[in-house]
Amino acid sequence: MNVFCSNDGKSGSPEGDDEYIDINCPSDIGFHFWDKKMKFDGKFSPLAIDLLYISVFVFAMDRKILRNKQIDNWKRTIELNIPVSNIDFWNRNKKLLEEMINFLSGDIWKFSFRAKLKLDEEEYYNSKKYKKLDTKCYDTVCLLSGRLDSFIGAIDLLEEEKNKILFISHYGGGKGTKEYQDKVFTCLKDTYGLDDSDYIQFYVACKHAFEDTTRTRSFMFFSHAIVMASAFNVDTEMYIPENGFISLNIPLSGARFGSSSTRTTHPYYIKKLKDLVKIMELKISIKNPYQLKTKGEMVLECKNQELLKTNYVKTMSCSHPDLGRYSKHSETMHCGSCIPCIIRRAALFNAFGEDKTTVRDFLLTKSEVAKLNKNAFLQKIRKFKKSSAILEIQKSGVLDENLNSLAEMYCRGIDEINRFISEIIRND
């Protein structure tokens, strides 16, 4: 599919394109970046703005183009023509960009670039709103998704008395995401004396979108943080808190290399992103201090155990928190049976001996998907051999660093899930 991407409101695309989409058209994309009141020591890097717009267009088309319409029910070929501020830069680095996103989504992405005719940032800088803003100073940006890992990551940073942290979230309209992000930040704010301005929630949503396997969401989420950090005018640390076990996200069986093996924080993808940020000459170092930790280890080693134990139920790790509406459940809650839920439940059980999170399917028996996930984990546990761990961890992507440490961490993660299933789920 050929897609003509725009930010200047022009109607229609050149002949030969299959789709036209405008980032500033509310009927195409909900994009509220410029609505936020933001002013830092510097201005946003034009290349970082380009990256953000590229990521939004990718995310939008990832949502719009259905996988089940493809020959193999999965892989799509998507060609985007995108306006940018620096055509030469993006043409030189197109291969890196394509490799990164192809790996992330499991599709074939192709990019062509043209000169951007409208610079939205200039309109923003010239606005009375921007000129009247107080300047905020930060040297750290941390992603706050509302999930358990991001909550722990935020706590650990704040316990280190890093007081110049900007927390960034993204939501896209689905029930559950924003409310849990709000709960998490309120908890951090009340505990550590943060200001409301220390937290920015960005809204991006593709209209008329039906594809659920949105693997490119992390690219768009990270790009928002990169844009923010590009304006700090100092060397900046960008934290992506995610346990290493889920980052590897090894397929549970040979049939699960699709939607069940997402690569949102996979080391290979993060390395490609770091390479791109370096080439963009941004003073940003991307870090995940939990790359060699299981989720259970993250919970157990959190630097404020009392805060975590009291408030972890305010986090949302579920892949489908609002699916309960189909069962006439009005309350958003964890399904308990998706892969992220099972890993979360295992982590909390191993660390605390219990999990007080309310779930819809405690024993993994109420749906065919739950039974399949349960059986997939059981199959993985039965067949798992520690001697094969190094080979196992490379099934979802290339790993060229910390192979032995990652393999050891993966073994500990399998042990966490094994203890949880054998002691709580009580399978015979």
Q: What is the mean pLDDT of the chain?
A: 93
- Split at pLDDT 50, 70, 90, the class of 9 is confident
Q: Among 164, 171, 155, 106, which residue's Cα sits nearest to residue 135?
A: 164
Are 322 and 333 a contacting pair, CB within 8 Å?
Answer: no
Domain assignment present for 105: yes
Distance of alpha carbon 154 from alpha carbon 370, whole angstroms: 31
Is pLDDT of 427 > 90? Answer: no
Domain assignment present for 110: yes
What are the distances in angstroms from CA 404 to CA 106, 250, 389, 411? 26, 16, 9, 11
So what's the pLDDT on residue 58?
98
Domain assignment present for 164: no
So what's the pLDDT on residue 213?
86
More confident residue, 242 or 395: 242
- Split at pLDDT 50, 70, 90, the class of 330 is low
Residues near 361 by Cβ (< 8 Å), separated by ≥ 6? 335, 336, 337, 367, 370
- Split at pLDDT 50, 70, 90, the class of 176 is confident
So what's the pLDDT on residue 16?
81
**Which residue do the tokens 């680095």 mark?**
93
Domain assignment present for 352: no
Domain assignment present for 9: yes
Domain assignment present for 295: no
Predicted TM-score (pTM) of this structure? 0.96
- Split at pLDDT 50, 70, 90, the class of 174 is low
- Split at pLDDT 50, 70, 90, the class of 10 is confident
- Split at pLDDT 50, 70, 90, the class of 262 is confident
Q: Which domain does 33 fall in, by range? A: 2-131
So what's the pLDDT on residue 259?
45
pLDDT per residue as tens digits for the range 123-168 = 999 999 999 999 999 999 999 999 999 999 999 999 998 669 999 9
Domain assignment present for 337: no
Other C-beta atoms closer than 10 Å to the C-beta of 325 total 11
More confident residue, 16 or 174: 16
pLDDT per residue as tens digits for the range 346-360 = 999 999 999 999 999
- Split at pLDDT 50, 70, 90, the class of 254 is low
Domain assignment present for 240: no
Is pLDDT of 257 > 60? Answer: no
Averaged pLDDT for residues 271-275 = 98
* Phi (first) and psi of residue 171, to 5 degrees: -140, 160
Q: How many domains is the chain partitioned into structurally?
A: 1
Distance of alpha carbon 117 from alpha carbon 31, whole angstroms: 19
